[in-house]
DNA sequence: GTTCTAGAAC
DNA sequence: GTTCTAGAAC
């Protein structure tokens, strides 16, 4: 979806320097080899579901509306492909298989279904959506360079992480508008990442005069957004009675995000705040309850969304209206150490892999 | 917040 | 030997 309000760039506007988000990373494009449609951009680490429909112009009933799930790693130059549909998706001549995941690299061909509808990958250093024979030849060249280059890229990434801990750095492109609260950042500490991401137009999926919505950079479910106020409010502790209307607005915007989601009829969502968030700047989580995500990795992740560590938006608003502040229990962090328990049937699971396997059983097919 | 990795658990 | 967790570093 498009942002609802775009601010005009003021001549003296301070341009953000992104140390947290995608910055100078190459952009990733999925190129239809039979020229059915223009290249589709795959955003770094954001799951993109592809199948029959207007986006691909595929009408073939053998192709599911959600045939594959694609997740690009723009830093390392590959895309993971998970087959969701029943009929075979294949990478070159190898069938992926329903539920299986493979790594798709430039030079390879992905056939969406039944060895039809071929796609290739293109990684570009700029984000302009073009697809020329030169691009394709460059993509092929990159592919031919093979694993050795990938290793070098990985090494570069390692070196870069040491000097720039959060991520790559880039000035925001001048044609893109800035919010009124743009900040100058040269090397933000990791816990200031949201302040940077929320200013980045490439991350914004909605904005209005009070709030901005971004996709969580490491989503813990199929759909995971963060609603942030433009006003700098560091945490729940800083909230006062005067913020009630802002929080109500954040909740309404969160509900709006759910409503516009094509899976809102089949997925349950929760809206809430972490009792003690790691990242600075108040943010409302809007998260689908499938918890089907490779970024969901450990007990802290799980318990932060499935115990009372996750405080429902409405409860925060009620507390604020009633008491004028939000009270968080002193020992709330202990909740993060609780045994892993399924959020649907409450059955305890011994390890994260077992929990993740278990919660898949509760997913609709 | 993530990544990395030592060492515990299996 | 492999899997998994948890704590340090960033």
Q: What is the pLDDT of residue A188?
A: 84
Q: Please tell me whether any atom of strand C lies within 7 Å of the Cβ of A339.
A: no
Q: What is the pLDDT of residue A158?
A: 23
Nearest CA among A348, A354, A342 for reference residue A305: A342
Structure tokens at A214: 């971004």
Residue A287 reports pLDDT greater than 90: yes
**A51-55, A235-239, A252-256: least confidently modelled range:** A51-55
Residue A141 reports pLDDT greater than 60: no
Q: How confident is the model at residue A36 (pLDDT cuts 50, 70, 90)?
A: confident
Nearest CA among A215, A166, A217, A162 for reference residue A190: A166
Q: In this predicted model, which residue has the larger pLDDT, A250 or A35?
A: A250
Q: What is the pLDDT of residue A82?
A: 84
Catalytic residue among A262, A283, A301, A346: A283
Q: How confident is the model at residue A98 (pLDDT cuts 50, 70, 90)?
A: confident
Radius of gyration of chain A (CA): 21
Residue A4 reports pLDDT greater than 80: no
Is residue A283 among the annotated active site residues?
yes
Residues with CB under 7 A from strand B: A 158, 161, 165, 190-191, 193, 217-218, 274, 277-279, 295, 297, 301, 304, 350
Nearest CA among A202, A177, A149 for reference residue A28: A202
Q: Please tell me whether any atom of strand C lies within 7 Å of the Cβ of A158.
A: no
Q: In this predicted model, which residue has the larger pLDDT, A11 or A27?
A: A27
From the alpha carbon of A165, which nucleotide's C1' atom is closest? C10
Residues 250-289 of A with CB under 7 A from strand C: none
Separation in Å: B6 C1' and A22 CA: 31
Separation in Å: B4 C1' and A281 CA: 27
- Kindly report which amino acid residue has its CA closest to the C1' atom of nucleotide B9: A351
Q: What is the pLDDT of residue A172?
A: 26
From the alpha carbon of A193, which nucleotide's C1' atom is closest? B1
From the alpha carbon of A355, which nucleotide's C1' atom is closest? C4
Separation in Å: B8 C1' and A69 CA: 35
Q: What is the pLDDT of residue A3?
A: 39
Q: How confident is the model at residue A12 (pLDDT cuts 50, 70, 90)?
A: very low
- Kindly report which amino acid residue has its CA closest to the C1' atom of nucleotide C10: A165
Q: How confident is the model at residue A152 (pLDDT cuts 50, 70, 90)?
A: very low
Q: How confident is the model at residue A99 (pLDDT cuts 50, 70, 90)?
A: confident
Q: In this predicted model, which residue has the larger pLDDT, A9 or A124?
A: A124
From the alpha carbon of A158, which nucleotide's C1' atom is closest? B3
Residue A13 reports pLDDT greater than 50: no
From the alpha carbon of A162, which nucleotide's C1' atom is closest? C10
Residue A186 reports pLDDT greater than 50: no
Q: What is the pLDDT of residue A76?
A: 66
Residue A101 reports pLDDT greater than 50: yes
* Chain B bases near protein CB atoms (7 A cut-off): 1-4, 10
**A65-79, A220-234, A324-338: least confidently modelled range:** A65-79
Residue A75 reports pLDDT greater than 80: no
Q: Please tell me whether any atom of strand C lies within 7 Å of the Cβ of A86.
A: no
For the ranges A17-26, A109-118, A310-319, the one whose mean pLDDT is highest? A310-319
**How is A42-97 classified by DSSP, letter by letter?**
E-BT--EEE-SBTTTTB--TTS-TT-EEEEEETTTTEEEEEE-SSSPPEETTEE--
Q: What is the pLDDT of residue A81?
A: 87
Nearest CA among A21, A17, A342, A7 for reference residue A185: A17
Q: Please tell me whether any atom of strand C lies within 7 Å of the Cβ of A352.
A: yes
Separation in Å: C4 C1' and A59 CA: 44
What percentage of residues in chain A have a pLDDT greater than 90?
Answer: 52
pLDDT tens digits for range A290-319: 999 999 999 999 999 999 999 999 999 999
Q: How confident is the model at residue A187 (pLDDT cuts 50, 70, 90)?
A: low
CB A292 within 8 A of CB A343: no
* Chain C bases near protein CB atoms (7 A cut-off): 3-6, 10
From the alpha carbon of A298, which nucleotide's C1' atom is closest? C5
- Kindly report which amino acid residue has its CA closest to the C1' atom of nucleotide B4: A158
Q: What is the pLDDT of residue A139?
A: 45
- List helix spans (H) across chain A: 133-163, 193-197, 244-260, 299-306, 313-323, 352-360
Structure tokens at A115: 């060895």
What is the mean predicted confidence (pLDDT) over A150-174? Answer: 26
Separation in Å: B4 C1' and A308 CA: 29
Scanning the structure block, which residue is given the tokens 């199929």? Answer: A222
The β-bridge relationship of strands A211-215 and A17-18 is unpaired
**A169-183, A249-263, A284-298: least confidently modelled range:** A169-183
Q: How confident is the model at residue A149 (pLDDT cuts 50, 70, 90)?
A: very low
Quote the CA–CA distance of A155 and A58 in Å, as a whole number: 39
């Amino acid at each position: 979806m498009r942002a609802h309000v775009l601010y005009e760039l003021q001549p003296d506007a301070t341009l953000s320097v992104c140390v947290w988000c995608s910055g100078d990373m190459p952009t990733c494009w999925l190129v239809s080899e039979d020229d059915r449609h223009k290249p589709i951009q795959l955003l770094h680490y954001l799951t993109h579901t592809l199948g029959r429909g207007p986006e691909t112009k595929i009408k073939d009933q053998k192709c599911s509306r959600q045939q594959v799930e694609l997740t690009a790693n723009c830093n390392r130059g590959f895309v993971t492909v998970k087959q969701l549909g029943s009929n075979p998706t294949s990478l070159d001549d190898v069938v992926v298989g329903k539920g299986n995941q493979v790594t798709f690299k430039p030079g390879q061909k992905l056939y969406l279904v039944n060895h039809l509808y071929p796609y290739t990958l293109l990684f570009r250093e700029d984000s302009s959506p073009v697809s020329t024979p030169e691009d394709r030849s460059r993509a092929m060249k990159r592919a031919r360079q093979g694993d050795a280059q990938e290793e070098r890229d990985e090494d570069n990434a390692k070196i870069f992480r040491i000097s720039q801990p959060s991520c790559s750095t880039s000035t925001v492109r001048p044609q893109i508008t800035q919010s009124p609260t743009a900040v100058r950042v040269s090397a933000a500490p990791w816990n200031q990442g949201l302040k940077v991401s929320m200013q980045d137009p490439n991350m914004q999926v909605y904005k209005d005069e009070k709030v901005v919505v971004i996709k969580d950079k490491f989503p813990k479910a199929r759909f995971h957004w963060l609603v942030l106020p433009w006003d700098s409010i560091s945490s729940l502790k800083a909230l006062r009675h005067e913020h009630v209307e802002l929080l109500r607005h954040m909740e309404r915007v969160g509900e709006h995000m759910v409503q516009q989601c094509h899976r809102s009829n089949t997925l349950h969502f929760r809206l809430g705040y972490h009792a003690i968030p790691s990242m600075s700047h108040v943010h409302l989580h809007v998260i689908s309850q499938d918890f089907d995500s490779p970024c969901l990795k450990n007990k802290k992740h799980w318990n932060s969304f499935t115990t009372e560590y996750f405080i429902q938006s409405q409860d925060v608003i009620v507390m604020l209206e009633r008491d004028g502040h939000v009270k968080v229990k002193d020992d709330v962090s202990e909740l993060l150490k609780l045994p892993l328990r399924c959020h649907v049937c409450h059955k305890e699971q011994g390890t994260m892999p077992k929990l993740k396997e278990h919660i898949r059983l509760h997913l609709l097919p």
